[in-house]
Amino acid sequence: MAGAACEKPAVGQMGEPVVSGDVAFSVTGYDLLYLELDSAGKTVSYSEPVLSLKVKITNKGEAALTYSPTHQTQAMSEATTPLLYADPGAEATLPPATKETIGGVYLEKGRLPGQVSQTKVLQNGESLEDVFLFKVPHEKSAALILSMPPSMSHGNLPALIRVPYQYKEPKGPLVHKAGDVIQAGPASLKVDSAEVAYIETTHSIEGKGYSSTPWLKVTYTVSNPGDKPIKYTPEHDVEGGEGAAVYAGNVTKKRVKLSANASAVGRTTGSVTIEPGKSVTDFELFEIPDKENDSIIFEYPAARMGGSGLVRVSVPYTHSEPQLPKEMQKPDDKKEK
């Protein structure tokens, strides 16, 4: 017991293996990320960035090692889960009795690619890499310690790895350019244009007409490059995050919803089948962005054409005041022309 009481934890630096018990732990790098995850076919976005630490785990023992991930564990402890805390300094005793911990991130929905989700068995010399998520530190630069629990190493003490943290711009989801042909599951999507226009409509009672005010019209093409038919289901009036969206600066522009008796001429209604080699051109309608905006981000759920996740496209935008359609012009307006 006296020997165990004097035992000291293994301590090392990021990028080098730190051996504790039967396991070598190595922090191979870190990133700041905005998370966008797939959850049962729906895309889940988290508004706050996270600190993502990649750790290589190698079995150094003769016996097989069972690795059980702890990502679904909300209660964190030094004995059973990874911890991240401020490095108390070179002269301090490790691990410190009091720790300035940085909170772990528990994902209520979705799974992060690269995270180990099931128990795995590592034979002697075998390795795996796992990803651990924490809140972003307040400081722009900080000396941190990642503590890997003895429950993962079959040792008596945690393995401690010093991580020299430096803030960097968080990585966000990929944003394409207008005109790019973007693969989205079995279909491809190409955003053709964004313009301000009065929209021609048909009404079951009032007949043909135009919108009373101009709207932002984003036109795009959905194509089937495969060898099997695909179903395109735009559902232009769907509520919530399952439909298209436009962001102008930091402002989300409202999507235009027509009345139940009206439809926009030339827009797909219901669900259509796109045969191999064929395409459908369609459009979405939004309130007009401000004059200061010279571009918008158009966001479209790939689930509408058989894929998953969100497609984001940066589209050039020029504010304009379109001419009234002839049908909406007053007699005096026509004479002036």
Report domain extents, the chain. 9-166, 176-328
User: Is residue 151 classed as helix, strand or coil in its secondary structure?
Assistant: helix
Q: Are 314 and 297 in contact (CB under 8 A)?
A: yes
| pLDDT category of residue 24 using cuts at 50, 70 and 90 | very high
Is 174 or 26 the better-scoring residue by pLDDT?
Answer: 26
Question: pLDDT at residue 2 above 50?
Answer: no
Q: Which fold has domain 9-166?
A: Immunoglobulin-like (2.60.40)
Q: Are 297 and 175 in contact (CB under 8 A)?
A: yes
Most confident stretch, 2-16, 50-64, 95-109, 300-314: 50-64
Q: Are 137 and 165 in contact (CB under 8 A)?
A: yes
CA distances from 3 to 6, 74, 252, 312, 333 (A): 5, 33, 62, 59, 97
Whether residue 158 is preceded by a cis peptide bond, meaning omega within 30 degrees of 0, is: no
Phi, psi of 302 (to 5 degrees): -65, -20
Give the span between the Cα atoms of 74 and 89, in whole angstroms. 28
Strand partners, 98: none
Name the CA dihedral angle for 176, 181, 182, 188, rounded to a multiple of 10 degrees.
150
pTM of the model: 0.61
C-alpha torsion sign, points 176, 180, 184, 185: negative
Same fold, 9-166 and 176-328: yes
Lowest mean pLDDT among 46-60, 74-88, 244-258, 321-335: 321-335
Question: pLDDT at residue 239 above 70?
Answer: no
DSSP 211: -
pLDDT at position 281 is 98
CATH 2.60.40.1240 corresponds to the domain 176-328: yes
List Cβ neighbours of 164 (8 Å cut-off, separation of 6 or more).
Answer: 14, 141, 143, 144
| pLDDT category of residue 128 using cuts at 50, 70 and 90 | very high
Q: Which two tokens stand for residue 70?
A: 């702890």
Q: What is the DSSP string of 171-201?
A: B----EETT--EEETTEEEEEEEEEEEPPEE
Question: pLDDT at residue 276 above 90?
Answer: yes
